[in-house]
Amino acid sequence: MQRRARSVPFDMFHGGFGHSGEDCTFETLCKEFRIRDARVRAIGGMVHDADLSDGKFGRMEAYGIDEVLKGWGTKGMPDREL
């Protein structure tokens, strides 16, 4: 796989950022880049709940977002188009 210059790989099998401990990739990135904005942390809770389905943050809206993403995934569209 060819990497673009200055890219930050994530959720890849070979290197880059990914899940760490109980954190999803989004949380890992926020910690690594020291992002502390409360709005981003709220989004992180949503992404965590949708990705890990553990209800850790109780963000019910995450399940709706997850269902939309799953639906798009069934359309066979390339990631670039999505």
Whether residue 38 contacts residue 13, with contact meaning beta carbons closer than 8 Å, is answered with: no
Separation CA 78–CA 56 (nearest Å): 31
The H-or-E segment that residue 41 falls in is helix 38-52
**pTM of the predicted model, to two decimals?**
0.72
Per-residue pLDDT tens over the stretch 28-77 = 999 999 999 999 999 999 999 988 989 999 998 888 888 888 898 899 88
**Position 17 pLDDT exceeds 80:** yes
Separation CA 31–CA 52 (nearest Å): 18
- At 26 the three-state DSSP class reads helix
Per-residue pLDDT tens over the stretch 19-38 = 899 999 999 999 999 999 99
Who's near 58: CB < 8 A, 6+ residues apart? Answer: 49
